[in-house]
Amino acid sequence: MTLVSGSYFPVLGLKPEIGRLIGTDDDKATGEAHLAVLSYDYWQIRFEGKPDALNQVVYINGQPMTIIGVAPRGFTGTTLGIMPRIFIPVTFRGRQPFLGMDPDRRTSYWLYIFGRLQPGVTLEQTAAVMNIQYRNITNEYDAPEIEQWANSSIMEMFRAKQLTLKPGACGQSTVPDSNRETMRIQMVSALLILLIACANVCSILVTRGMARAGEIAVRSSFGATRGQIITQLLAESFVLVIISGISSIFTAHWILRLIVSIYPPHSAPLFDLSLNETSLLFTALLMFSTVILVGLFPAIHGARPDQMSLTKDQTGRTTESKTAFRLRVTLIVAQIALSLTLLVVSGLFAKSLYRLSNTDLGMKTDNIITFRVSPLQAGYTQEQTGLLFERLEEELAAIPGVSGVTSSQSQMFRGNTCLSANFIVEGIDPGRNLVVCFDNVGFDYLNTLGVPLVSGRNFTK
- Do both 316 and 408 map to the same domain? no
Supply the pLDDT for residue 222.
76
Residue 358 has pLDDT above 70, yes or no: yes
pLDDT digits (tens, 9 = 90+) for 65-87: 999 999 999 898 888 777 889 99
Q: Is residue 266 part of a domain?
A: yes
- Do both 181 and 285 map to the same domain? yes
Last residue of a domain, one of 69, 92, 115: 92
- Do both 186 and 334 map to the same domain? yes
Counting the structural domains of the chain, the total is 4
Q: Say how far apart CA 306 and CA 310 lie, in whole Å.
A: 8
Supply the pLDDT for residue 340.
80
pLDDT digits (tens, 9 = 90+) for 218-261: 777 777 777 787 787 778 778 877 888 888 888 888 887 787 77
What is the extent of the structural domain holding 154? 123-160
pLDDT digits (tens, 9 = 90+) for 257-273: 787 776 665 555 556 66
Q: 153 with 430: CB under 8 angstroms?
A: yes
Q: 171 with 79: CB under 8 angstroms?
A: yes
pLDDT digits (tens, 9 = 90+) for 308-354: 455 555 444 444 556 666 766 776 777 777 778 777 877 787 787 67
Q: Is residue 116 part of a domain?
A: no
- Do both 261 and 312 map to the same domain? yes
- Do both 338 and 254 map to the same domain? yes
Q: Is residue 100 part of a domain?
A: no
Residue predicted with more confidence, 388 or 145: 388
Is 227 in a helix, a strand, or coil? helix
- Do both 221 and 279 map to the same domain? yes
pLDDT, mean of residues 420-425: 69
- Do both 347 and 217 map to the same domain? yes
pLDDT digits (tens, 9 = 90+) for 9-37: 999 999 999 999 999 888 887 778 899 99
Choose from 104-113, 206-215, 295-304 the range with maximum mean pLDDT: 104-113
Last residue of a domain, one of 330, 357, 384: 357
- Mean pLDDT, the chain, as a whole number? 77
Q: Is residue 459 part of a domain?
A: no
Q: Is residue 49 part of a domain?
A: yes
Supply the pLDDT for residue 54.
94
Q: Is residue 342 part of a domain?
A: yes
- Do both 323 and 398 map to the same domain? no
Q: Is residue 198 part of a domain?
A: yes
pLDDT, mean of residues 380-393: 85
- Do both 326 and 422 map to the same domain? no
Residue predicted with more confidence, 414 or 331: 331
113-127, 243-257, 363-377, 418-432: least confident range: 418-432
pLDDT, mean of residues 144-161: 79
pLDDT, mean of residues 359-384: 79
Ramachandran class of 456: left when φ > 0, alpha when ψ lies in -120 to 50, beta otherwise: left
Residue predicted with more confidence, 439 or 51: 51
pLDDT digits (tens, 9 = 90+) for 159-217: 888 888 888 887 777 655 555 666 676 677 677 777 777 767 766 766 666 666 667 77
Q: Residue 445, class by beta-carbon neighbours within 10 Å (0-12 exposed, 13-18 middle, 19+ buried)?
A: middle
0.85 cut: is pTM over it? no
Supply the pLDDT for residue 456.
84
Residue 103 has pLDDT above 90, yes or no: no
- Do both 420 and 328 map to the same domain? no
Q: Which residues of 115-136 are buried (b: 16+ CB within 10 A; e: fewer)?
A: eeeeeeeeeeeeeeeeeeeebe
Q: Is residue 345 part of a domain?
A: yes
- Do both 186 and 153 map to the same domain? no
